[in-house]
Amino acid sequence: MGPTVQAWLTTSNGSSQLTPQPNITFGPNTGSASTISVNESQTFQQMTGFGAAVTDSSAWLIYNKMSSSQRAALMQQLFDPNQGIGISFVRIPMGSSDFSINGPYSYDDLPAGQSDPNLNSFSISHDQAYILPVLQQARSLNPNLTFMANPWSPPAWMKTNGSMLGTANGVTGTLNSADYGPLAQYFVKFIQAYQAQGIPISAVTPQNEPEYAPSSYSGMSWSASGENAFIKNNLSPALKSAGLSTGILGFDHNWNDTNFPSTLLNDSTTRNDLAGIAWHCYSGSPSAMTTIYNADPAVGAYETECATGAAVTPISTPDLLMQSVQNYAKTVELWNLALDPNHGPHSGGCPDCLGVVTIDQSTGNVTYSNDYYQVGQYSKFVVPGAYHIASNSLGSLADVAFKNPDGSKVVVAHNDGASSSSFQVLWNNQGFNYTLPAGATVTFKWSDILTPTTTATTTGPTPTPTTTVTPVPTGSVQINAGGSAISPFVADTDFTGGSTAASSNTINTSGVSNPAPQAVYQSNRYGTFSYAVPGLTAGASYTVRLHFAETYWTAAGQRIFNVGINGQQVLSNFDIVASAGAANKATVQQFTATADSSGKITIQFTSVKDNAQINGIEVIPATTTPATRINSGGPAVAPFAADSDFTGGATACSTNTINTSSVSNPAPQAVYQCNRYGTFSYAIPGLTAGKAYTVRLHFAETYWTAAGQRTFNVSINGQQVLSNFDIVAAAGAANKANVQQFTATADGSGKITIQFTTVKDNAQINGIEIL
């Protein structure tokens, strides 16, 4: 069988809200006419994140209208990547917007008629009361959080109408020519002050919605030529002079105008100063971002505000998320993170805007809107740094695909139609089928890198353990979690949080390859905690083996938890008893991870029910084993060796031309022109005992011309992985290559055994790779 796919569903009627669905397994290509084909070899923009704005009103509600326990729970649901939706991008108004509890304010307010070009009165004290504490708490929950900021208006004394309002007393305000320099220093001071508070500002825009000058809340009109001059002559030089790496995003207004951003991009000096163009959703089409991309593919697109659900907004949340990414946006950002049931507090502006969450001012109770779950369908699974990769949409069934930094794939699909939609997801020539209800959104996630290898299955009497400890490579780290040193495991170390416990129960390790010593399974660390394993080689690949045994509970369902490695969840709702098959029985979960730039691998354990638990941890340098490639039934065709390591079967060859266009990393043409057929097996030697390998099986039907004429089963190490497999059905045609890929572990003698059993006509294989 292929990789396991996890799925989460949000329906329009609220019956499912980011609800985990039963796991799915990739199998043969079903040949469905409705197929979403995912092609990770074609990449587009790199993602920064998904989220919403922490406005003055949002922060005030969260900090002042909730108890500390209510606030902690909400913030976890918003920002924690494991326990919540992992919001990864936040916009911060620099001063007031239309969602400010006490009307307009800036960081340098003065009585009318006064000015402060040296910014002697600059202060962020207003934000220190409740905005910064909320932002700091958010960052503590999600260290990968990215912040951008921008003003709705400079201080009133910098403007031609002397007011924070966009239009005051019939006069539309813009920036005084003498205050271009002071405004640039205003940005510098803000960024430096926030940085000192532990909030790094990654990007700014010079002005929110420069083409709109509201009369009821803060704003400023600014022409494209004016903003262009400010960026190249003032803001960019000021940031560079201050040693700040904050990026500059231009425009920050609606999709209906591509002329304004084009003005900025057509100035070569300004173009070099820009990190991208920021966009709002209130007019025009998301395709405007593609228009700019086509003119300048190197410029980033950032969707930075959309109050979905308000009367002024012409696009829904699912469409905003989907279409923004499809049109090259690196961020997708809703408007207010939190509002009250009366769509406020606000001072002018939008009367019916909605928050991602709604907070009752009198009780502090929270209502999670559909927007929360829709954003979560992306933010919880698409990690900052992921790439948007190629996939095709199917009419009213829209989809978008991503590849995370750890290699895991994510596909989000939304059914905009009036009835359910059935389709296949096809990747690496493997597929699975799914039916999505009308109006629903589903997220699929799978990995061909972080593939857990569970090694406990049998039940029955517990034998007296006779554990043999297999030596591991030099440079390995082995930790007895919650316990003392048990050679070769060192005493518990490198942890943060949690408590320890021990048991004298006898542990059955018979179902585990390379188990830890018995005593390791008799102690544990439990709770919500993490390990940061230091002293590794930065950028190097390691095998992480997590050892578990349940010594307290006696049945499945009593202890459930999640495990993340380097911020990427690798075990979801993990249950030790269910995995091992019994209490007091060892199970090992194995992954591949890369040490970060400081030479650490971080492992997070988060409780779902009762307490998370770990008994032992091994971090072992990944060894590079030369790939084994066999041309089944044929001679050597580099890099494939001549047929070897088989038992049984016969051989045949053909001169037919083979279509390999739909296969990633196909074998040479000649491999598909020869085969071994019948009932036979291969025993591939020379592997590392206990090591997980990728097994790729290459097929092409050169004898039969239609499906149903050749069917067979394939097993790896005694486990059936293909049932009634039909090459023509899987490939979609005769003389067309098909690859089936699996993960398998070499046995104690360093072999992987592959059995081919005929069902109809003869089983067949053309090529085998062990990687």
Residues designated as active site: 209, 305
Take residue 512 and report the two structure tokens written for it. 């585990």
User: In a 3-state reduction of DSSP, which class is residue 369?
Assistant: coil
98 φ, ψ to 5°? -75, -5
Name, in order, each residue with C-beta under 8 angstroms of 283's C-beta and a sequence gap of 6 or more.
254, 255, 256, 314
Take residue 694 and report the two structure tokens written for it. 């990728």
Q: How far apart are CA 267 and CA 290, in angstroms?
A: 20
What string of DSSP letters covers 601-640? EEEEEEEEES-EEESEEEEEEPP-PPPEEEETTS--BTTB
Q: How far apart are CA 221 and CA 213, in angstroms?
A: 5
Q: Which run of H or of E encompasses 188? A: helix 180-196
Preceding amide of 639 cis, omega within 30:
yes
User: In a 3-state reduction of DSSP, which class is residue 191?
Assistant: helix
Q: How far apart are CA 14 and CA 367, in angstroms?
A: 13
139 φ, ψ to 5°? -70, -30
CA atoms within 13 A on the CB side of 611: 19
User: In a 3-state reduction of DSSP, which class is residue 716?
Assistant: strand
Spell out where 483-528 has E strands: 490-491, 495-496, 499-502, 523-527
> Which residue, among 542, 537, 543, 530, has the nearest Cα to 599 in the 3D structure?
537
**Locus of tokens 């912040």:** 147
Among positive and negative, which fits the CA dihedral 212, 216, 219, 221?
A: positive
What string of DSSP letters covers 252-315? EEETT--HHHHHHHTSHHHHHHEEEEEEESSSS-THHHHHHHHH-TTSEEEEEE--TTSTT--S
CB atoms within 10 A of CB 137: 18
CB atoms within 10 A of CB 201: 23
Q: Which run of H or of E encompasses 324? A: helix 317-326
For the chain, the maximum distance between any two Cα atoms, rounded to a whole number of angstroms, is: 96
